[in-house]
Chains A and B, each alone.
Chain A
């Protein structure tokens, strides 16, 4: 027993520490690794957000949101109005295409397809599609749309919709899966058709989760650059016609201005970055808030 119990300096009895030194050291090192990893990840986040904030905030005057882009890139002045509008228009147009298709597709997968062969194939391909590089989407839309219809916001929206579609399908299917089957049974027992059950019971029950997933997909699409570069062209002035004529977007502006050596252009890039990050963060946080509220209601 004396190997296991000893007396401390103050005279109390205590369990003797029998773990070999090297084991404790290794444990300590591992802990340092784990905590250190977290700190290492936080540093770039803080740096990037910090720089964007500091360097971009000076750009955000009222003019910023309304004025057109300056004619001469290396000079200061003008604003990002067209780009902000472009980002919003293109992203919303993409959502208008991707959301209905994605939700309906997910409904097929979960409510009708189940584990059948077609459903499994679609699921697999949707997963594959999430891994397609965004630039390949841009090239694709370029070859099938832009070549024949010219540069336009719609082309960009098509490319973004292709990016969003598989994400929305997968997250919506997850949400549909979370709806308890008993609700469907209750609806059938009342003499309702399957499609009525889906529309009146399942979709409303899954609504919060689906919305959250859609918002995250929109946030992702709003930040994309590569699919837009070849499809929307470039424009200085506001172009509200999404089918005709080139336009611009915040992401494309950042990319272009970042490559110039001019201070004024780079400053504009930081401002656009701040605007874009703000939009994306707002969407992401909203999405998290909605999904948290949905989770709370489920557990209530």
Chain B
């Protein structure tokens, strides 16, 4: 009976005494396990390999531009490919500005929805809210961009920005920002981005808010707090870390968004202004708009923009996840 045991029909009863060999197995089974594990490990390692490749290849291709521009690549706002000058400051500014605008618009709305869904909504509305958010998230960014450039921009320029700008454009402080009348502008990009990141920030915030122990809520209600007071004293402090993390992830997403922004930000190279209603440019938009016809150092510079964008978004994402991770551990009582 000491045959290859893996397909042996083992009858009940006594094995030949001391038949140690059959218990050793045929070895092929163990090998199968080892092979499977190795294959699975390799698949997982592909992630590391790809990330490393991304960093290496893009930096390598962008190197000529970095070398010729030096630090002025990120400190100068003069971007004139014909003269071989590539200062990306305006684009970095545009990326940051449009993303910050997006956050300012999206966070209050997302937080409101998240709180509503978890605390105030009647239960039959909860599932539809999730569906609505899912649908919002599912719409491809290029469709938002299309709507933005054909519908929103032509409308909002003359009918919203223009009146506001004429009214308050001369005022101090406010006039620094609410100025300009271009439909395709930082503000429009911010609006479109806000629409796009709302689903993410909402669903992440919802998850965070859902982890608040009901004991905390009950403590607040038990003292006669109104619902808002309960939210303010029990939910928000508890979820603060996680919500910050969710917001930062939304920021990362906004900064990386290319197509919708490229369509509605106006593509005015090199313009750094606080006037929100004026056209500008973002790193991603510049890349996608200029890459087709770029050659040589110009192309390298565009890839260099990609590297900068890569670094910035990774930084934001990693910080966000660290914050969320710390929040998770605290929430679990670690």
Query: Which A residues are closer than 8 A to B by beta carbons?
Result: 19, 23-24, 26-27, 29-31, 33-38, 40-42, 44-45, 47-49, 51-52, 100-102, 104-105, 107-109, 111-113, 118-119, 121-122, 124-137, 139-140, 143-144, 162, 165-166, 169, 193-196, 198, 219, 222-226, 229-230, 251, 254-255, 258-259, 266, 269-270, 273, 276-277, 280-281, 284, 288
Contacts and interface: CB of A to CB of B under 8 A. Distances in A.
B146 A273 contact: yes
Interface string B42-53: 011111101101
B143 A276 contact: yes
A132 B310 contact: yes
B116 A37 contact: yes
B43 A108 contact: yes
A125 B112 contact: no
A254 B149 CA distance: 12
A34 B314 CA distance: 32
21 contacts: A27-B226, A30-B227, A37-B109, A37-B116, A45-B136, A100-B43, A104-B39, A113-B41, A124-B321, A130-B317, A131-B314, A132-B54, A132-B256, A136-B256, A136-B310, A136-B313, A194-B36, A195-B32, A225-B258, A226-B288, A254-B142
Interface stretch (B127-135, B170-178, B214-222): B127-135
B138 interface: yes
Interface of B: 29-30, 32-33, 36-37, 39-41, 43-48, 50-51, 53-54, 57-58, 60-61, 108-113, 115-116, 119-120, 129, 131-136, 138-147, 149-151, 195, 198, 202, 224, 226-229, 231, 249, 252-253, 255-259, 262-263, 284, 287-288, 291-292, 303, 306, 309-310, 313-314, 316-318, 321
A227 to B, nearest CB: 9
Contact of A193 (B32, B143, B316): B32
A108 B45 CA distance: 10
B140 A259 contact: no
A162 to B, nearest CB: 6
B51 A284 contact: no
A179 B282 CA distance: 44
Contact of A34 (B33, B120, B292): B120
